[in-house]
Structure 1
Amino acid sequence: MAQAKGTRRGMSPDAGVEISEDTFPELDAVAAIQRGLHSFNQEMGGPYDREPVTLLARAADGSARGGLLGLTFWGWLFIDWLWLSRDLRGKGVGSELLQRAEAIARERGCAQAYTDTFSFQAPGFWEANGYTEFGRLDGMPAGHARVWFRKAL
């Protein structure tokens, strides 16, 4: 069998499987991993009831100038992305996006929210909006930290 470029292979003798590093995995393999973990998670924690939360801040011409991307599941709001163009920062738009996302989450029965950010991405914004730090990974990236925040809704 020819080895694909960017692939390293080796056997795991105790498990009887081949372990490979693959720079360009086929979509079926990626989907199998995702389906397997989602299935296990739901078996252990119950149905996800995953629903996206998407809020956009648009200019008059319709172009996206920022927004919030997240999802609700297991009674939690997870805020994955919150970004605003530089000209919109400090004008309350971020807080409005966050408040609207939290309202959507409460309507869906969520009682908690969480996010992660970096120390150079205005963690004070989260604190000003009622979020509390509950985890920190210093040196990620070098000279900075990755920070996790949560809030009871």
Structure 2
Amino acid sequence: MRVTLTVPETPSEAEREAILAPLRAYNIARGGDPKLRPLAILLTDENGAHQGGLWGKISYDWMFVELLSVPEALRGGGYGSQLMARAEAIARASGCVGIWLDTFEFQARGFYEKLGFSVCGQIEDHPIGQRRYFLQKRLVA
């Protein structure tokens, strides 16, 4: 088989799937079923409008928190802690070993550390002059 490299101007979901399919097959063959489960916990106002929340997934016995967003007007009201507590409860009920996430230096490292997370990696100059941190919290010893 002969292949070439192509770079689409606007990558599509079908192109993402073309990349993901062989990787998924390889991972399942070697690591077993990841039992992938998406997760969303929404902040919903009295009118039913979503005002932020948490987005993540459970895969291979760990929860990954991809997004945590609390609008400026709601910050300081404990919503971030509530979102993370609910995520942790779901992770524990799902038998997860732990939770991991990443955050930029200008975001919420201290917030996550107060919740029991510890830094397990970092990237310097991402963005330039800043750091990106990777944190984890083990739920099972």
Tell me if TM exceeds 0.5: yes
Amino-acid identity (%): 36
Determine which structure has greater relative contact order: mean sequence separation of CA pairs < 8 Å that are 6+ residues apart, divided by chain length: 2
Q: Compute the TM-score of the two structures, normalised by the length of structure 1.
A: 0.84
Residue 74 of structure 1 is matched in structure 2 by 60
- The structure with the largest alpha-carbon Rg is 1
More strand by share: 1
Give 2:26's match in structure 1, choosing from 40, 50, 63: 40
Letter in 2 for 1:125: F
- Going from structure 1 to structure 2, the CA distance change for 1:20 and 1:56 (only over 3 Å counts) comes to same
Give 1:131's match in structure 2, choosing from 98, 113, 117: 117
CA-atom RMSD in angstroms? 1.5
Secondary structure, aligned partner of 1:124: helix
Alignment of structure 1 residues 116-127 onto 2, 5 Å: 116-127=102-113
User: Tell me, which stretches of 5 or more residues in structure 1 are unaligned?
Assistant: 1-14
1:149 equivalent to 2:135? Answer yes
Letter in 2 for 1:86: E
1:97 equivalent to 2:80? Answer no
Count of aligned positions = 139
1:87 equivalent to 2:68? Answer no
Between the aligned partners of 2:12 and 2:63, the Cα distance in structure 1 is 31
After TM superposition, the runs of 4+ consecutive aligned structure 1 residues lying more than 3 A away are 24-29
Please give the per-residue CA displacement for 1:62-113, whole angstroms capped at 9, x wherever unaligned.
2212200011111101000000001211221101110101111111110211
Letter in 2 for 1:75: D
Secondary structure, aligned partner of 1:72: strand
